[in-house]
Copies of this chain bind each other. A is one copy, B any other.
Amino acid sequence: MAMSDLIEKFLLQMLEEMGGVAELQRGDLAERFSCVPSQINYVLTTRFSPEHGFLVESRRGGGGYIRITRVSPEPTALLMHAINAVGDAIDGPSAAAFLKNLLQAGVLSLGAARLIGAALGDAALRAVPRERRAAVRAGILKQCLVHTYHSL
């Protein structure tokens, strides 16, 4: 695995531990990985760009620093929120809205969202009396989201 990948991994883990913001010194990090300082910039520009959902600030001079902030909300937080919000029963359109939101946020892949959607549809719940479907749907949806949470 290339060094840039290792540095990326390190920074991601750091962000995870620090709850979304990591502050570091370029020289220190370069020394830890035995590379030139500018390689840190390379990693930052290729893997922590805004399109990747990060904000990078820095300051030069004595006491300088580089701060990386995860700008797109963390998937775990979004999932947690969604799981709590589902409740004990949910109708089809509402469930679909949940899935759409999570898809939009990049927490669920298109395939996963559609798959869950299939599991929640009336066709899948044929064996459940109509008046109980909302409750069953909620159970399935929550469990799917919990699973997704655990697989992050």
Contact = CB atoms under 8 A, between A and B. Distances in A.
Interface of A: 1-5, 61-63, 88, 109, 111-112, 114-119, 121, 123-128, 132, 135-136, 138-140, 142-144, 146-148, 151
B139 A136 contact: no
16 contacts: A2-B61, A2-B62, A88-B127, A109-B111, A111-B151, A112-B112, A115-B148, A119-B144, A123-B139, A124-B140, A125-B140, A127-B139, A128-B132, A128-B136, A128-B139, A136-B136
B127 A143 contact: no
Contact of A119 (B61, B114, B119): B119
Given A3-B63, A112-B112, A117-B147, 16 more contacts: A2-B63, A88-B127, A111-B151, A112-B115, A114-B147, A114-B151, A115-B147, A116-B119, A118-B143, A118-B146, A123-B139, A124-B140, A124-B143, A125-B136, A125-B139, A140-B140
Contacts of A4: 63
